[in-house]
Amino acid sequence: MSQQVCHIKWNADGLIVDGQQADLLPHEGGLKELLAAYYKSLGLNYPKFHKMDNLSKLGVLGVAMLSAQYDLSAYADDAIAMHFQNASASLDTDWVHQQNINEGKAASPANFVYTLPNIVLGEIAIRNKWYGENLFVVADSFDLERWMKTNQVLFDQNKAEAVLGGWVEVLEEKFELELYFVVKQ
């Protein structure tokens, strides 16, 4: 068995942290500027953030909000599995790489490295020094019950004490984060 102990839902309609709803922070421009506004308001001092694509930024910010809400430091460095899903994989960044190719421009290695959806897991792992299980699944929509079923498999197989993850989706300025922290009972 398991228990959901924290939930964050974040999209263009607003931000809900454990049922507490708030309007989005004021920002000028698009998603990049919105994410920068949250980086600032969370007081993060993490220069690597600025090199990330929007998908990784969204995931890293979500986990920073979650860890401000719920103490994750009690867990061993490999006890938290990361299991994320989304619909568009890394297409938001793939499209930038593809446009360079289409226009005959040189590919950018700094961009190419983000053309895999599991890079967001890597960025979260680096920032939090987590060595746990990694799983990135691509699906049409977020099926919470199915996501939980896979988490239960990780618990039953003694692979994790907790699962951090959910839905992290970015495509052409549209974004959706549904972040959960689930604890093995």
Partner 1 sequence: MSFIAAPHIISPLGNSVHENFERALVGQSALRLHSDHPFAPVDIPFGIITDHERSEGWTKLESLCLQSCQQSLAQLKDTSGKWLLIFCTTKGDIDRLASGLSEEVKPQYLVQKVAKELPIDIDTEVVSNACISGLLGVIMAHDYVSTGVYDHVLVLGGDLFSDFTYKGFESFMALSAQACKPFDANRDGLSLGEAVVSVVVSDKKEIFSQVDCQVLGGASANDANHISGPSRTGEGLYRSIQKTWKQTGLSAEEVDAVSAHGTATRYNDDMESIAFHRAGLAAKPINSMKGYFGHTLGAAGLLELVMSMESMRAGIFLSSLGCEAPGTTEEINVVTENTPMEIHTLLKTTSGFGGCNAAAIIQKIQ
State the residues that interact with partner 1 by CB under 8 A.
77-78, 82, 87-89, 91, 94-95, 97-98, 100-102, 106-109, 112-113, 115-119, 121-123, 125-126, 128-140, 149-150, 152-154, 156-159, 171-172
Q: Minimum CB separation from partner 1 for residue 132, in Å?
A: 7
16 vs 94, beta carbon nearer partner 1: 94
Q: Mind giving me the DSSP string for 100-143? A: HHHTTPPPPHHHHTT-STTHHHHHHHHHHT----EEEEE-SS--
74: left (phi over 0), alpha (psi -120 to 50) or beta: alpha
Q: Minimum CB separation from partner 1 for residue 69, in Å?
A: 22
Phi/psi at 3 (nearest 5 deg)?
-135, 135
Q: Minimum CB separation from partner 1 for residue 133, in Å?
A: 5
59 vs 62, beta carbon nearer partner 1: 59
Q: Minimum CB separation from partner 1 for residue 44, in Å?
A: 18
Tokens linked to 59:
């995931």
Answer for the pair 2, 155: CB distance below 8 angstroms, yes or no. yes
